Amino acid sequence: MQSPYPIKLRMAQFSTTFLDELLSRADIVELIGRHVDLKPSGANMMGLCPFHHEKTPSFSVSTDKQIYYCFGCGKGGNAYRYLMEHDGYAFPEAVEFLANKVGMPMPERQVANPHEEAKKKAGLGLLQQVADVFHRTLAGEQGGKARAYFERRKLPQAIINNYQLGFAPAGYGFMQRCFGTDTKTLQQLERIGVLIKNERGYADRFRDRIMFPIRNKNGQVVGYGGRILDDGEPKYLNSPETDFYHKSDLLYGFSEHRDYIRKHKLLVVVEGYMDVLAMAAHELPCALAPLGTAITEQQLQNILRLHGEPIFCFDGDRAGRQAAWRAIERMLPHLKSEHSPRFLYLPDGADPDSLLQEEGKVAFEKRLREDARPMLETLVKGLKNIAGDGAEGRARMAKKADTMLSTMTDDYLRQAWQGEIEKISGVNLIHQKPNNFAANRRNQTALKPQRPLSVAPMKHDRFMASLLQDSKRFSQLPDDAYDFFIDNHPFKSLYTRAFSLAGDDDNTLEITAQLMREFPDNQDIARWVNLPIVEDAEFQMLLIDMHMSYLDGLRGRAEGLTVIMRLNEELKALRAQQHQLKNSSEKEN
Ligand SMILES: [Zn+2]
């Protein structure tokens, strides 16, 4: 996943020697083999891509260069990248995971402030302790009312234990009674969001509430949701934003259900904690819920990264439809053609819990898989509702659709959807927000490029692949090869950097590793490495081809007659070489 920190900052925590050593000891084939059945194919291993849905393998892993690439969806990188993209780790977590796996001790982290680290660790420890206390209280004398609630909701004890549900008793002073009253402890409890400081001292935030611990991606408790038992307000109270708890980024059930979702390819987004738990109680541990607020873009991105075909489950009432609409609007900028989210409106007055009680797991799962409608269909229905009837209605629908579609960043998907909506409304969508469009294009190399290959002529692509597959070829390049790519060419910076890294001996591994480090969001490197081997004969042809284009460009800009004549001579010689190569290769075939 994309880390919010610039790569330089992320990298600075570890020395490159350590990162390289760790990569060389970790086996990417084994790492990916946990999720993907890989079979040898030429120099590489191939399997079904874990990032997008496919029936024939287009996911390649280069065993010697330890880099993967999917020719279907364009995802690629090294072991760190895989752990970040696939398992949702942040960079330092991916490093730690690999280090543990291969048994390499972690270096002393050069974090800005070891004191901060210690504080963070203490905070997380305390958050877990508080969850333990709530959980014990639920089982104890004071928990009777809360236990009765769970019984009414038919929530089994195993779920209560697995999700560590708890109870915060009524009244004030509970936290102090459990953890003591020394100033440092109270400050810490305030910092993690369970105490509120006011003019009279510290007060418990959660009182007389059922407690749902909320975990981050690593499964650590970072906050709580609290549900009131009687009719009091607010019905749900959650942790405030703290150093640990960021409600717009977290999803209830994420760390608990991640593996099941991947394995069973079923992800259901529901509205509340109890829906998540009711589904788990019916052997469907595949639900996630936002934390009491409307779903955010960040949460939607996390959902799509975990599974590209989520099912969004909403109440059939007005509020449910509005929530669905918001989810659609916020998802559009992040939607790619490999995603296919679907939407399901539940019957009036029903929620996942009541439906599961009534019809059982099998019928409910069938409902999910069969009744959920594609996002485009849901979008069109919503547009029709908003726009109303008649010619004016169709015009309003087209206008609104135009605005919404302009936020999409996947050009192909946008065009496809635009075509569908034009068919339905009978109106051509005119605004394409060219500014937005251009900005996306510009950003494409900086972000994950899903650039079609045709943007760069095939020979440029093959040429780069031939060099990054075998760095000895750099030594065969002519002196002027440094300028083979024009300045604004998308491969220019990669090429010149690789050029400067190349030695006389084969150092392909070092070059690819270094490039991946310096261009962390570039997917071309991984793709070139995983392309079928570019044979020497092709490389010789490519080399001449590149050289000729370069000289041709020079000739176009040249002024003096002598210069032009010299260039003509060079081109003539190259053309002769080209003929010779072509003839000899034809003879061979
Ligand atoms: Zn893929």
523 vs 538: CA distance, rounded Å: 23
User: Of 516, 536, 532, nearest to 524 (Cα)?
Assistant: 516
Candidates 251, 246, 340; CA nearest to 302 is: 251
Pairwise CA distance, residues 442 & 445, whole Å: 7
Q: How far is the CA of 401 from the centre of ligand 1 (A)?
A: 29
pLDDT for residue 451: 36
| Tokens found for residue 273 | 């904690």
CB 515 within 8 A of CB 494: yes
Q: Are 102 and 22 in contact (CB under 8 A)?
A: yes
Domain spans, the chain: 7-102, 114-238, 254-371, 381-443, 453-588
Give the Å distance between the CA of 430 and the centre of ligand 1.
Answer: 33
C-beta atoms surrounding 176 within 10 Å: 18
What's the 175 CA to ligand 1 centre distance in angstroms?
49
Ligand 1: distance of its center to the CA of 520 in Å? 18
- Measured in Å, residue 464 CA sits from the centre of ligand 1 at 22
Q: Spell out the alpha helix ranges (H) of 307-408.
A: 318-331, 352-371, 375-387, 390-405
Q: Angle formed by the axes of helices 561-588 and 536-557, to 10°?
A: 160
Q: What is the pLDDT of residue 151?
A: 95
**Tokens read off for 425:** 């409304």
Determine the distance separating the centroid of ligand 1 and the alpha carbon of 266, expressed in angstroms. Answer: 18
CATH architecture of 114-238: Alpha-Beta Complex (3.90)
The alpha carbon of 342 and the centre of ligand 1 are apart by a number of angstroms equal to 20
Q: How far is the CA of 217 from the centre of ligand 1 (A)?
A: 23
Q: Classify each residue of 238-276 as buried b or exposed e, where b means 16 or more C-beta atoms within 10 Å of its C-beta.
A: bbeebebbebebbbbbbbbbbebbbeeebbbbbbbbbbb
Determine the pLDDT at residue 178: 95
Its CATH class, for the domain covering 254-371, is alpha beta
332: CA distance to ligand 1 center in Å?
Answer: 20
| Tens digits of pLDDT across the chain (589 residues) | 344 444 444 455 788 788 888 888 888 998 999 889 999 988 899 999 988 888 899 999 998 888 999 988 888 999 999 998 888 787 888 998 999 888 888 876 555 567 877 888 899 999 999 999 999 999 999 999 999 999 999 999 999 999 999 999 999 999 999 999 999 999 999 999 999 998 888 999 999 999 999 999 888 999 999 999 887 788 899 999 998 998 888 999 999 999 899 888 899 999 999 999 999 999 999 999 999 888 988 899 889 988 989 999 998 888 888 889 999 999 998 898 889 999 999 998 888 988 999 999 999 999 999 999 999 999 999 998 888 888 888 888 888 898 889 888 888 888 899 999 999 888 888 755 433 333 443 333 333 333 333 344 688 989 999 999 999 999 899 888 988 988 878 888 899 899 888 877 788 888 898 888 888 878 899 999 998 888 999 999 999 999 999 999 888 888 888 889 999 999 999 999 999 988 887 776 6
Q: Which segments of 103-211 does DSSP mark as H helices, in order?
A: 114-139, 144-152, 157-162, 174-179, 183-191
CA of 525 to the centre of ligand 1 (A): 16
Q: How many CA atoms lie within 13 A of 550 on its CB side?
A: 22
Give the β-pairing of 44-47 and 342-346.
unpaired
Q: What is the distance of C-alpha 78 from the center of its chain?
A: 15
* Ligand 1 centroid, distance to 109 Cα (angstroms): 34
Beta carbons of 267 and 288 less than 8 angstroms apart: yes
pTM: 0.62
Q: What is the pLDDT of residue 112?
A: 58
Look at domain 7-102 and name its CATH class. Answer: alpha beta
Q: Compute the distance from residue 473 Cα to the ligand 1 centre, in Å.
A: 30
CA of residue 454 to ligand 1 center, whole Å: 19
- Residue 71 CA to ligand 1 centre (angstroms): 7
Which region holds residue 283: left if phi is over 0, alpha if psi is between -120 and 50, else beta?
left
Tell the residue number behind the tokens 């611990």, with chain if given: 213
Ligand 1 centroid–CA 47 distance in Å is 10
Q: What does the pLDDT read at residue 582?
A: 87
Q: Which amino acid is at 318?
A: R
Query: Cβ–Cβ contacts within 10 Å for residue 205, how many?
Result: 20
What is the whole-number distance in angstroms between the Cα of residue 263 and the centre of ligand 1?
Answer: 16
Measured in Å, residue 412 CA sits from the centre of ligand 1 at 17
CA of 338 to the centre of ligand 1 (A): 8
436 CA distance to ligand 1 middle (Å)? 26
Distance 302 CA to ligand 1 centre (A): 17
In single-letter form, the type of residue at position 328 comes to I
Residue 76 Cα to ligand 1 middle (Å): 9
Whole-angstrom Cα distance, residue 515 to residue 70? Answer: 18
Question: 3-state DSSP helix/strand/coil percent for the chain, to nearest 5?
Answer: 55, 10, 35
- By the 8 A CB rule, do 22 and 98 touch? yes
C-alpha 79 – ligand 1 centre gap (Å): 16
Residue 288 is predicted with a pLDDT of 97
- 527: CA distance to ligand 1 center in Å? 12
Question: DSSP 3-state assignment of 206?
Answer: coil
Element (H, E) at 46: strand 44-47
Two structure tokens written together for 515: 């490039």
Taking the centre of ligand 1 as the mean of its atom positions, its distance from the CA of residue 37, in whole angstroms, is 14
Query: What's the gap in Å between 550 CA and the centre of ligand 1?
Result: 35
CA 51 / ligand 1 centre spacing (Å)? 5
Asked if residue 234 has a cis previous peptide bond (ω within 30° of 0), the answer is yes
CA nearest to 356, candidates 293, 303, 313, 310: 313
Ligand 1 center–CA 400 separation, angstroms: 32
Could you tell me the two tokens for 484?
Answer: 């083979």
Report CA(54)–ligand 1 centroid distance (Å).
Answer: 8
